[in-house]
Structure 1
């Protein structure tokens, strides 16, 4: 079905709903690379005018990716909660934007609405929003999850401690873990990307991290970000698996490119949950996503990259994850060219994930060949924290020496907590206090080099080799 708009004496024609959605998107290099982007600012405005007047129900009747050939589309439409959707079923996309920004859209009403929204609805309304709109609405969305720590509570900012090492050296990883703990980082997850993605290597890293956790009774969950099929093999060998990780995308074909489908994700979820390793909750899945993943796999079906990204959140939502994060600038400038595009994408992804009921976090990051720098990341980390982001990722010195990209540092977490008053998860914060690392107000103590806490912690690096 074609859509038309007369604007400024010109008539703009959009071939179908996919064309409207793509042309309405803010400018980004990935859509330009795919030949999907608006050809002018005027066309972009015309597409947004068309989109604003479309009823939300159009996304239930016109699938952007064919139902018959895509299991993600079937998951979205077959699992749609019509009763939850009824509260906004009468609205257009523009009317939905106005409602989201109104006082009627409370934390409670948004939580009740989430099962009734499709990813395409969330993506559509985000295209009509300014940055401050994305922040205001996302901040109203609260999604709490728990394993050994409780995440998503108001006034809290979780952190994933990412201690990657180029050779997976156990002592190097342990030293980075302990460094992060001294800065109060790690309450969302202590998660390592293995340099060598084999079952035996991943299992060894899991054992090492679990031994370190048990040594100090750290209330945190650990994860080795190996492929889900490796995690299943490791589970069968009785290794200490807390969280099962997998990168996911928004189409069946893109997920096949990752070597996964919904069935294997369900198998892994059921197996990990059956271990009952959580102490305060049983959310045991960790998903990463990123704008451009489907396009890089030539599996986007002509859908713009932000909408395909939102569809990945439907995959994640099906498995009650503890953590979901977009690796917003990691895929490269071919998809998000500069700091402005990265910042906009980070706010969109966080908004869409939270609106759909996900515990959304972000790896605020960029590759070294992007037109971005750490000043851009400083801005985005601040905006996301104001928006109520569930967690951020931090690495030693903001420089991941294994993956060779730039993220946030442990020091950045201190800045956010000190400036914006956000605190770690309560269980982790209590542990920091017991270890003599935290102030009564939830801050981090500045310790002398010979402080007993430092001596005790760093003595353990030789015990995990």
Structure 2
């Protein structure tokens, strides 16, 4: 079905929903690379105007990717809640925008709609919102999740300790963990990207993380961000798996390029939940999945089907939602400037991703980052970090000095997170906050003085000694 809009006597035509959504997107180098971006600002505005007048029901009547040929589309349609959709079924995309901008207390009314919104509807309204509006709406929505602690509580900002090591040295990983813990980080997860995706290496990392957590009695969860099959194989060899990780995308072909299927994800979730029952851990909930995504992943895999990268990102969140995850984050600038060229595009995408994830009901975090060849710097990250913190992001990354020595990219540091928490009076996850205060690391939203944490230091040196590689 074709769509059109007239500006000053000139008619702009859009062949189908894919074209309309792509042309209405804010400028992205990835869409330009794919050959689907608006030719100029006037065409972009025409597409936004046509999109604003589009009934939400169009997205149900005209799938942008056939559910019979794409399993992500199929799961999106199969899990759509028509009862939750009913109150807004008569609205256009523009009217949904106005509805979301109303003064809704704590986002309670918005949360009632989450299961009635498809990813394409969410992507469409995102294209009509300014940056400040993405922040204002997202800040109303609190999506809470539980594993070994609780994420997403109002007034909190979680931090993933990302203690990556170029040789997977477990003593180095443990030292970086301690560094982060003493800066108040680690409540989202202690999550390591392995340099080597092998069963032995992943098992050693998982055991090392668990050793830190159990030795210091920390209410948090560990994860090794290897391929899902490697993690499951390590788990079968008695490695402790708190969260099962996998990168996912917005099309079946993208996920196939990652070496996964929806059946594998379902089986993996079932296995890790069964594994949880065999461990002596005080689980607070049954959310055990951790997903990462990023605008441009489908294009980089030649699996975008002519769909713009923002809409594909929303579809990845729609897929994630069906697995009831504990953590989801976009690695917003990680895929490179071919997809998000500079600071402006990275900031816009970070706010879009966070907003879409929140609106779809996810416990949404963002890796505020860029690769070394992007037109951005750490001031760019500071800008996005402060915007996301005000938008109520569930968690961010914490890396020593913000420089990941294994993945060779730039992200947020432990110090960045501590400063933002103090500035905006944000605390850690409730259970983790209690641990921090009990151990003299933090008081409220601020780090204690330079002499902090002496109460735990006596436990740390033996811990590091016991973690050294043989």
What band does the TM-score fall into relative to the shorter chain? over 0.9
- Write the distance in 2 (CA, Å) between the matches of 1:190 and 1:278: 17
Offset, 1:263: 0.4
Q: CA deviation at 1:447?
A: 2.9
User: Counterpart in 1 of 2:323?
Assistant: 319
Give CA deviations for 1:137-189 in whole Å, capped at 9, x if unaligned. Answer: 11111100011111100001111000000001111111100000000000010
Aligned equivalents of 1:193, 1:93: Cα separation in 2: 39
Aligned twin of 1:346: 350
SS at match of 1:324: strand
Unpaired runs of 5+ in structure 1?
none
* 1:265 correspondence with 2:265: yes
Greater mean deviation of Cα atoms: 383-392 or 269-278? 269-278
How far apart are residue 442 of structure 1 and its match?
Answer: 4.1
Distance 1:154 1:449, change over 3 A: closer
Q: Which residue of 1 aligns with 2:333?
A: 329
Alpha-carbon distance in structure 2 between the residues aligned to 1:241 and 1:449: 31
Q: Hey, what's the Cα distance between the residues in 2 that align with 1:260 and 1:114?
A: 26
Q: Distance in 1 between matches of 2:452 and 2:442?
A: 16
| TM-score between both structures, scaled by the size of structure 1 | 0.98
1:175-194 pair list within 5 angstroms? 175-194=175-194
- Tell me how far 1:238 sits from its aligned partner: 2.3
What is the DSSP-based 3-state SS (H/G/I as helix, E as strand, rest coil) of the residue aligned with 1:136?
helix
The residue number in structure 1 matching 2:412 is: 408
Query: Please, which of 378, 394, 404 is the counterpart of residue 390 of structure 1?
Result: 394
Question: Pick from 422, 445, 448: which aligns with 2:448?
Answer: 445
Per-residue deviation, 1:452: 5.0
Give the secondary structure class of the aligned counterpart of 2:447: coil
Tell me the TM-score normalized by structure 2.
Answer: 0.97
Q: CA RMSD in A?
A: 1.3
Distance in 2, matches of 1:458 and 1:330, equals 35
Q: Is 1:283 matched with 2:294? A: no
CA contact (8 A) 1:242 1:278 kept: no
- Asked if 1 retains the 8 angstrom alpha-carbon contact of 2:439 and 2:455, the reply is no
- Contact 2:221–2:242 (CA under 8 A) maintained in structure 1: yes
Q: Distance in 1 between matches of 2:120 and 2:247?
A: 20
Q: Which residue of 2 aligns with 1:460?
A: 463
Residues 158 and 104 of structure 1: CA distance in aligned 2, closer, same or farther (over 3 Å): closer
Residues 314-353 of structure 1: CA distance to partner in whole angstroms, max 9, x if unpaired? 1110111000000000000000000110000000000000
* Residues 175 and 458 in structure 1, CA contact (< 8 A), matched pair in contact too: no
8 A contact 1:99–1:105 mirrored in 2: no
Q: Distance in 1 between matches of 2:452 and 2:438?
A: 19
Q: Tell me the residue number matched to 2:25.
A: 25
SS in 1 for 2:13: strand
Q: Report the secondary structure of 2:283's partner residue.
A: coil
8 Å contact kept, 1:194–1:202: yes
* C-alpha separation in 2, matches of 1:448 and 1:217: 21
Aligned to 1:249: 249
The number of residue pairs the alignment matches comes to 464
Question: What is the distance in 2 between the residues matched to 1:219 and 1:255?
Answer: 32
Aligned to 1:75: 75
Match of 2:403 in 1: 399
Residues 1-400 of structure 1 mapped to structure 2, 5 A cutoff? 1-104=1-104, 107-276=107-276, 277=281, 279-400=283-404
Q: Which deviations, in whole Å up to 9, do the C-alpha atoms of 1:78-124 show, x marking residues without a partner?
A: 11100000111110000000000012575221111111100000000
| Separation (CA, whole Å) in 2 of partners of 1:68 and 1:450 | 57
- Partner Cα distance (1:370, 1:226) in 2: 26
| Structure 1 position 370, deviation (Å) | 0.1
